[in-house]
Amino acid sequence: MTFGGTGGRLFERSFGSFENFLGAVPSIEDLRWEVGDVTTELGKQRAREVYDRRVLLDEHEGFFGYREGDAQACHGDSGGPIFRVVDGKRTVFGVTSWGTHRFGAFCDFGGVYAVLSPTVYAFVEKSLAWVDPCDGLPQAGRCEGTVAVRCSTLREGVRRRLATECADLGLVCGAGADGQVNCQ
């Protein structure tokens, strides 16, 4: 399988541009379902959001299998290995993490659908050493004195701890009606 790289936006890395991605959306069933009709402004806006938020964790995830002739992962392959030869031995260096889905077609080994179906693998060694920057932080966030602390969302890019000093805004830290911690 062809290695496409690590870090950055998956669809930018695999399609080269937003325009190319936009042209492919109608052929990728799970994206078509998520985005809708890309000939409308709303569809284009949703496509842009998907394009921007599907981000690979730097040095921890890479994408493979996006060229014609490459194998593709199929439903149920998550956690399955990807090998490389090290000192003459096949060695697991990553596991299937996520990808796009072309229901009924993307498992077609070596077909033209490989171009539309990059698969993301988590690198075993790097993943074992990865420290979650939000470890122990509740999903709703928490108050640390006057500071509202939470983890970033998918729409905000790479997973990281975010903190806002509420006192600087003339506000206090607290939980809203939805349970989410913020400055009020």
For residue range 58-99, what is the model confidence (pLDDT) as tens digits?
A: 778 888 876 777 777 776 777 888 888 889 998 888 888 877
What pLDDT, on the 0 to 100 scale, is given for residue 130? 67
Residue 28 sits in the same domain as residue 116: yes
Residue 100 sits in the same domain as residue 148: no
d(CA 37, CA 33): 9
Q: Residue 99: inside a domain, yes or no?
A: yes
Least confident of 18-22, 114-118, 179-183: 114-118
Q: Which of 150, 159, 148 is nearest to 182 (CA)?
A: 148
Q: Residue 161: inside a domain, yes or no?
A: yes
Residue 164 sits in the same domain as residue 85: no
- What range does the domain containing 120 cover? 3-129
What pLDDT, on the 0 to 100 scale, is given for residue 108? 52
User: How many structural domains compose the chain?
Assistant: 2
Q: Which of 30, 32, 10, 36 is nearest to 75 (CA)?
A: 30
Hey, is 138 helix, strand or coil?
coil
Contact 145, 164 (CB under 8 A): no
Alpha helices of 54-155 — where are they, by DSSP H?
Answer: 124-129
What pLDDT, in 10s, does the model give residues 119-176? 777 877 766 666 788 888 988 999 999 999 999 887 777 788 999 999 999 999 999 9
What pLDDT, on the 0 to 100 scale, is given for residue 60? 83
Q: Residue 154: inside a domain, yes or no?
A: yes
Residue 163 sits in the same domain as residue 84: no
Residue 125 sits in the same domain as residue 146: no
Q: Residue 7: inside a domain, yes or no?
A: yes
Q: Residue 109: inside a domain, yes or no?
A: yes
Residue 171 sits in the same domain as residue 117: no
Within 10 angstroms of residue 56's Cβ, the number of other Cβ atoms is 24
Q: Residue 134: inside a domain, yes or no?
A: no
Residue 119 sits in the same domain as residue 159: no
Regarding pTM above 0.75, the answer is no
Q: Residue 135: inside a domain, yes or no?
A: no
What pLDDT, on the 0 to 100 scale, is given for residue 129? 67
What pLDDT, on the 0 to 100 scale, is given for residue 11? 85
d(CA 34, CA 65): 22
Q: Residue 137: inside a domain, yes or no?
A: no
